[in-house]
Amino acid sequence: MIPTSFPAKDEIARLTAGMLIEIGAVSFNAAEPFTLASGKQAPTYVDCRKVISFPRVRATLMDFMAVSIMREAGFEAFDNVAGGETAGIPFGAMVAERLALPMTYVRKKPKGYGRNARIEGVMTEGQRVILVEDLTTDGGSKLSFVDAIRETGATCSATAVIFYYGIFDGVEETLSNHGVQLISLCTWWDVLAEAKARGAYDAATLSAVEAYLNDPAGWKPA
């Protein structure tokens, strides 16, 4: 069944943030910060891969993503849904099912043998493809996936994610300059607001997280 009627965007953001908190996908720790892939430290961490292990949350978020794609990009805007290796693959499959579209996936790099392909599944020239991922931080990895899709002769004008950091400058502009629209369900700001509303963390932790979100480049542990 293709979902068509769901809450407004701000309510989807609030509910998504609450579900991520509820399943333990969100971690705040200012005393012992997390080391990100960039090597920088942060008092925040999100693991959207946990979503696949919670059927009710998984189903609801994929419904939210499908309806957000239709609302923000169009009901007949795409011919193919591509998941990004690896976290985007299950989400791509579930979104494709909801939109009644073919599903493919994009490797981070050629597999090194056989066809040496980056695209798995059937993607043809002229198809309009949406890239589905778990999250985006600065948008960098999305551009590589998008370029791989375009090399097939298909187009890729949008990427949809569960979680968008929403704290780094220029991300949406960078994607837009590459011809890619960003569709997301929630950001760190939504998570912080919901964490405050639920009293999910102590005041000192929430204060440290808010300081980080306001200045991620300059933040340092106390």
Q: 104 near 78, Cβ under 8 Å?
A: no
Give CA–CA dist 149/141, Å, rounded.
Answer: 13
Q: 173 near 63, Cβ under 8 Å?
A: no
Task: Give 132's strand partners.
Answer: 83, 160
Q: What would the mean pLDDT of 138-167 be, rounded to a whole number?
A: 95
| DSSP output for 143-175 | HHHHHHHHTTT-EEEEEEEEEE---STTHHHHH
How confident is residue 113, by pLDDT bands cut at 50, 70 and 90?
A: low
Give CA–CA dist 222/216, Å, rounded.
Answer: 14
Burial string for 125-145 (b: 16+ CB within 10 Å, else e) reads eebbbbbbbbbbbebebbeeb
Give CA–CA dist 105/108, Å, rounded.
Answer: 10
Helices (H), the chain: 9-22, 55-73, 88-99, 140-150, 171-177, 188-198, 203-214
Give CA–CA dist 21/126, Å, rounded.
Answer: 40
Q: For position 39, what pLDDT does the model report?
A: 76
Q: What would the mean pLDDT of 27-49 be, rounded to a whole number?
A: 89
Q: For position 140, what pLDDT does the model report?
A: 82
- Helices (H) and strands (E) counted in the chain, each on its own, are 7, 10
Q: For position 112, what pLDDT does the model report?
A: 65
Residue 215 has pLDDT above 60, yes or no: yes
CATH architecture of 9-214: 3-Layer(aba) Sandwich (3.40)
